[in-house]
Structure 1
Amino acid sequence: MTTQTAELVPSYVQGGWWTPASGDGSTLVLDANTGEELASVSTEGLDLAAVVEYGRTVGQAALGGSTIHERALMLKELAQFLNGRREELYQLSFRTGATKIDSMVDIDGGIGVLFTFSSKGRRELPNSNVIVDGAMEVLSKDGSFAGEHIYTRIPGVAAQINAFNFPVWGMLEKFAPAFIAGVPTIVKPATPTGYVTEAVVRLMAESGILPEGSLQLISGSARTLLDVLDYRDMVSFTGSASTARALKSHRNVLEGGVRFTAETDSLNAAILGPDAVPGTPEFDAFVKAVTTEITVKAGQKCTAIRRTIVPRALVDDVVRAVGERIDQRVVLGDPRGEGVTMGALASLEQLRDVRGAVEEMLAAGGELAYGTLDAPVVRTASGEEKVVEAGAFMSPLLLTWDDVENESVHSREAFGPVASVIGYTDLDDAIRLAAKGSGSLVATVCTNDGETARVLTTGIAGHHGRVHILNRETARSSTGHGSPVPHLVHGGPGRAGGGEELGGIRSVKHHMQRTAVQGSPNMLTAVTGVWHTGADRNLAGDAEFGGVEGAVHPFRKSLAELRIGDGFASPLRRVTQEDIAAFARETGDTFYAHVDPAAAEANPFFPGTVAHGYLLVAWGAGLFVEPAPGPVLANYGLENLRFITPVPAGDSVRITLTAKRITPRVTDEYGEVCWDAVINNQDGEIVATYDVLTLVEKEDTIYRNWPATA
């Protein structure tokens, strides 16, 4: 037996680095380009139950001590820290067979996900740990009993099982939304490239930014991990469909309530529209996209194009054009070699799997139209051109099929630099062929014809998680067929796993429980930190309408003094026909309902000429504003404006303003206040509702000693 001397890749668990007492049972990890021994991994003796419990207790408590905005800022700080350490990660990444471009997609892309979620978390979520989902539902006639939905974080851990092809991005794209939600992460990377993941986790730990227990790493086998998870926890899996099925059938998933989401390999398609003939910008963009998807990461992407579906008459043209582009632009070899643009597969085992899949497809009826299964000549790190038997190198391959119905092309995936080109007769046929993949992560539709784009996109959307429409307008700006972006859903139905990753704030909510909460408006306000209609208020202003004469106007209060439910009740203001006419003259809004009595009376919505809605909103501001300089720094908008009851001349209006939501900004000396605004007429009928948004100082410092105004 050979003695393994390669250094063990440690796990990061329970707040420290862990390695087994011996290397017994360890698995060797090799340089994908040279076959050199790099490291070994083993989890022999690791107490997975203790790892999970540490996350549920220490990690949950530490993350719960911060708000969503505070965690979002930690992500930004972490991204900036990692950004300064990319070069050392590139050097490790080269050993996986990844080129500089491949490494940038993985490393820079992963760091970019942290930046994106940091920004979206602060812009789109409250600075708290409760997210209100939708409007309050009144459940009693008197309004004393109501209900709504809220999101709160799940009380367990997020166990994230990742694939070998993206050791950095694959981890960070799962970690970021879990962290924003406040859920501790346990990362289980794939063995062949897990040493790169370990290097990133080491940097993250060294940064000192992350709360204790928020991130743990298992380097090596974790076959019994699901045995120690329960309904409090979730599993996010990326990998093969067969492994996903095995994990999904675990008893703790089927019976124990473990949440399970999967993103698996799929036979993604790229469809060339009938208008995109050779010589058009669309044909050129299509050829470039197919070449990119075959060669970037050596085709080892779950989003790579596997089936190129083109008009039957253009099959040979597409094969020829893609082959010529590969010949002209692709240099296969060690990524450390000068000019290399495509590296090795991640391991010799992966090379055997891909070759085996191709051989099965050829035996089933496919024909090799470009490339060779023989060991290719490659460029070494020193610049020498030769066959490297110890390296996991493979030529890009294109297959064609006389029988486009052949099951193998629609069900067998070679997870490497391999794509099939198949012909269709019409758009319905193209849609049918795309659907034969039984669910995919992504498809490209390449056309400059709007109707073709509509027919193809709506025809295949139900079978795909993402549809990428490519034409001359997006050829230069598109992020590409195979590049998931953190703003949009990454996942797909059927064979693709049926899950969703990324998708902006949707992915944060995947790590949270949506709960229906019922109670009085006061109790709902207390739970959510958001004022609800019918809850108690502390109103200054007109006593006739619930205000307290002489009480401090809420616009005179800084965030340190302002409380949810503080507000202002204005007096009435009467509307005259001259007011309406003057507003029409000044604004140019002479819509007949405001200036033509006969036409207005004929309209079923109006009793005659009525005040402009925007006149009433402007008056509302005049009725509630506190004009002297103070803590309110700016009005930055209105939301949810609705006009409900028309106001004819002779009616009067008043406004009630209530502090609905207060959001201090962590990094600034001010915060945002959302005010519930309701305009009523003299009979108490609701005329308009909307939210007023203001920026307010945390402490009243700027104008504290400002001279009193007349």
Structure 2
Amino acid sequence: MSIIEVSSFAAGQWIAPGAGARNIASAITGDVIATAGNNALDVQAMLDYARTTGGPALRKMTFHDRARLLKALALHLREHRQALYDLSFDTGATQSDHMIDIDGGIGTMLVFASKGRREMPDGHVYLDGDVEQLSRTGSFLGQHICTPLQGVAVHINAFNFPVWGMLEKLAPTLLAGVPAIVKPATNSCYVTELAVKLMLDSGLLPAGALQLVSGGLGDMLDHLGMQDVVSFTGSAHTALKLRSNPVILENSIRFVAEQDSLNASILGPDAVPGTPEFDLFIKEVSREMTTKAGQKCTAVRRIIAPQSQTDAVIAALSARLAKTTIGDPRLESTRMGALVSNGQKQDVLEKAAILAQEAERVFGDPDNFTVDGADADKGAFVPPMLFHCADPDNAQRVHDTEAFGPVSTVMGYRDLDHAVALANRGQGSLVASVITHDAQVARTVAIGSGAYHGRLYFNNRDSMKESTGHGSPLPHMVHGGPGRAGGGEELGGVRGVKHYMQRTAIQGSPAILSAIGDTWVPGAPEIQGPAHPFTRKFGDLATGETLYTDPRIVTLDDIAHFANFTGDTFYAHMDEDAARRNPFFPGRVAHGYLLLSFAAGLFVEPNEGPVLANTGLDGLRFMKPVSAGDSIKVRLTVKKKTPRNDDYGEVRWHVTLTNQDDDMVAEYELLTMNAF
């Protein structure tokens, strides 16, 4: 079998392994299958290429342009995923593991692509929060904006997810408009290299947007500056070494870390044997121990159960683990493959020996287990190993030692406060799960343990059919954790994109804020269009274009008719004396929804035209009551335009209702879909 030469892609060139290259062995056979690394990479040229070529090209694109780029890349990878599957077996992963890694990574890119189109503007500035009024009349305002950092993101990834680990960082980085240099772990970098080649060969990426280091980074971190970002996934030891780099400290360079995590799963006191929750707990823990052979940053390392149920948990979990077929991951019958390397196998066995100082191994013997279709001595195979710690209060190593493999420890708790205390002994984790059907148990754990965990996952009979699992980070939700988990934060939808942007407070007049954010702010200049705005297509409307309507008088008959027609006969609309006793009203007043209906009647163009649908109202407020005899008029302004597809876009209108004295009666934002 020929040995794969895993290249780097640096400054627009593929560079083969050279001086400093190291061999990579198959996790299945222990035979050398690849070589990677080159000490001669010009890291300064790579950084310059990203900053001067990739960054400007990405920043010229709008958020929507970059979202479309992500979608196209994801679909291209999906078309070629079989090649990634085939290559990944030598990492020790099974086909189901590949789907988590490869399909999960592609799915993550698609989620960010969707969120980019739905939640971010088709522009270059992201508005972070509402406008703040900083003066009495509103002539001086403030707002926070986010713009792309003008440096490069250096992604240092772990071995366990060579595709997802790259794509979950790359998606928000590219969406933000920042180029990336990806450095995968050497043990599985050959899979990452193929994914990068597929993306580069697609022709979709601007030059300089993506580079790859297969092997060591050299002194790249010594050349970073304040506009750059380092995002790291791996061990706490390596994270400390990297983030202590003097250049990173001196320049306050953003360092996002996701590292060691002693994740816990708590069996609720109500989840006794025979309940759906108990069975679910055993299933979830078993899956987390064996998926990717336990090589997941989110895997369950500590199993926290009521003291009265620890024997039942051990028995049920041991019985389920005994059904796990270990073997060559290419075999359909295999349920758990190998660790990524024999070096990783040795590390797991050493960590298991440390756990054995405080806990008894109750299942799994690394010296006596069966491997199907492969040599257990040559490959990086270990069995699932379950430990029981009888005295978790006086133990330390079970709370600070992570065996990064199919290893977990059962420990008992006296009451729920004790369970929370044990979960928190891990000093920070990516995720803790609680299996319970008692909502108050969930509340107690959330309040007592939320500060120690990046994610709390609750599951029971009500949600189990659709839940995604303890160990599944989702792009919609934050992935990261406090303390020993690294203190970093990834994913989380648009939150993840902001890690690669600078939040800036801008202050100025309404016209200045409107120009910067491409969103009309009340008080900014208004534009009078050539015709009724509802007769004009999406592309013809201009931000700030405004329509003023004629007034309409509200009568007592209008109020009574609306009340009887709708059934809304609230006393403030029907009873003069009762209404006067209400401190908010001068007497009988018009319904708020009557005013909205009259407003629509004042500004709507009834004939068929480019307005396709009214999709909702945002931020509705009623400021002053309207009595019979008062009049109302409407100001309708184009606040913001957002394309949705090739046929139509969303127009956000700022609407104000004023009375005969020009006092504000109501204010809201109207959303319509308008044809191009």
Global fold match (TM > 0.5): yes
Identical columns (%): 53
Q: Does 1:593 align with 2:572?
A: yes
Aligned to 2:8: 11
Q: Does 1:674 align with 2:668?
A: no
Q: Does 1:373 align with 2:373?
A: no
After TM superposition, the structure 1 stretch with the greater mean CA deviation from structure 2, 371-380 or 441-450, is 371-380
Deviation at 1:5, TM superposition (A): 8.5
Deviation at 1:67, TM superposition (A): 1.0
Q: Does 1:79 align with 2:74?
A: yes
Matched position secondary structure for 1:95: helix
The code of the aligned residue for 1:228 comes to: H
In the TM superposition, what are the counterparts of 1:568-607 in structure 2 within 5 Å?
A: 568-607=547-586
Deviation at 1:145, TM superposition (A): 1.8
Verify the 8 A CA contact 1:273 1:447 in the aligned structure 2.
yes
Verify the 8 A CA contact 1:577 1:649 in the aligned structure 2.
yes
Matched position secondary structure for 1:176: helix
The code of the aligned residue for 1:129 comes to: H
Return the match for 1:131 from 126, 129, 153: 126
Aligned to 1:505: 494
Q: Does 1:449 align with 2:438?
A: yes
In the TM superposition, what are the counterparts of 1:482-631 in structure 2 within 5 Å?
A: 482-539=471-528, 551-631=530-610
In the TM superposition, what are the counterparts of 1:409-448 in structure 2 within 5 Å?
A: 409-448=398-437
Aligned to 2:378: 390
Deviation at 1:40, TM superposition (A): 0.8
Query: In the TM superposition, what whole-angstrom CA distance separates every residue of 1:589-633 from its partner, at most 9, and x where no partner exists?
Result: 111111111111111111111111111111111111222333322
Matched position secondary structure for 1:186: strand
Deviation at 1:664, TM superposition (A): 2.7
After TM superposition, the structure 1 stretch with the greater mean CA deviation from structure 2, 53-62 or 449-458, is 449-458
Distance 2:389 2:282 in 1: 19
Q: Does 1:646 align with 2:625?
A: yes
Aligned to 1:173: 168
Deviation at 1:47, TM superposition (A): 0.7
Distance 2:464 2:547 in 1: 54
The code of the aligned residue for 1:410 comes to: H
Query: In the TM superposition, what whole-angstrom CA distance separates every residue of 1:430-488 from its partner, at most 9, and x where no partner exists?
Result: 01110000000001101111221211222111110111112112222211000101100
CA RMSD of superposed structures (Å)? 1.4
Matched position secondary structure for 2:211: strand
Distance 1:5 1:113 in 2: 33
The code of the aligned residue for 1:569 comes to: Y
Distance 1:527 1:677 in 2: 22
Distance 2:568 2:473 in 1: 46
Matched position secondary structure for 1:593: helix
Matched position secondary structure for 2:131: strand
Distance 1:472 1:631 in 2: 48
Verify the 8 A CA contact 2:19 2:38 in the aligned structure 1.
no
Aligned to 1:336: 330
Verify the 8 A CA contact 2:10 2:41 in the aligned structure 1.
no
Verify the 8 A CA contact 1:43 1:222 in the aligned structure 2.
no
Verify the 8 A CA contact 1:231 1:256 in the aligned structure 2.
yes
Q: Point out 4+ residue stretches in structure 1 off by more than 6 angstroms.
A: none
After TM superposition, the structure 1 stretch with the greater mean CA deviation from structure 2, 244-253 or 608-617, is 244-253
Distance 2:465 2:658 in 1: 53
Distance 2:3 2:269 in 1: 55
Query: In the TM superposition, what whole-angstrom CA distance separates every residue of 1:568-595 from its partner, at most 9, and x where no partner exists?
Result: 0111111111100001111111111111
Query: In the TM superposition, what whole-angstrom CA distance separates every residue of 1:73-101 from its partner, at most 9, and x where no partner exists?
Result: 12112211111111111111111000011
The code of the aligned residue for 1:345 comes to: L
In the TM superposition, what are the counterparts of 1:135-284 in structure 2 within 5 Å?
A: 135-284=130-279
Query: In the TM superposition, what whole-angstrom CA distance separates every residue of 1:303-330 from its partner, at most 9, and x where no partner exists?
Result: 00000000112111111111101112x1
Distance 1:205 1:515 in 2: 33
**Structure 2: 5+ residue stretches without partners:** none
Aligned to 1:708: none
Distance 1:646 1:247 in 2: 62
Verify the 8 A CA contact 1:445 1:457 in the aligned structure 2.
no
The code of the aligned residue for 1:178 comes to: T
Verify the 8 A CA contact 2:39 2:218 in the aligned structure 1.
no
Aligned to 2:313: 318
Verify the 8 A CA contact 1:600 1:607 in the aligned structure 2.
yes
Aligned to 2:636: 657
Verify the 8 A CA contact 1:660 1:676 in the aligned structure 2.
yes
Distance 1:141 1:484 in 2: 46
| TM-score scaled by length of structure 1 | 0.93
**Structure 1: 5+ residue stretches without partners:** 382-386, 541-550, 699-710
Aligned to 1:61: 56
Distance 1:663 1:214 in 2: 26
Matched position secondary structure for 1:539: coil
Q: Does 1:474 align with 2:467?
A: no
After TM superposition, the structure 1 stretch with the greater mean CA deviation from structure 2, 154-163 or 59-68, is 59-68
Q: Does 1:291 align with 2:286?
A: yes
Number of residues paired by the alignment? 675
Query: In the TM superposition, what whole-angstrom CA distance separates every residue of 1:646-699 from its partner, at most 9, and x where no partner exists?
Result: 11111111110111101234x41321111110001111111111111122222x
Matched position secondary structure for 1:538: coil
Verify the 8 A CA contact 1:553 1:567 in the aligned structure 2.
no
Verify the 8 A CA contact 1:441 1:466 in the aligned structure 2.
yes
Deviation at 1:375, TM superposition (A): 5.8
Distance 1:604 1:183 in 2: 55
Distance 2:290 2:9 in 1: 34
Matched position secondary structure for 2:6: coil
Verify the 8 A CA contact 2:36 2:215 in the aligned structure 1.
yes
Return the match for 1:350 from 320, 325, 344: 344
Deviation at 1:197, TM superposition (A): 0.4
Verify the 8 A CA contact 2:59 2:148 in the aligned structure 1.
no
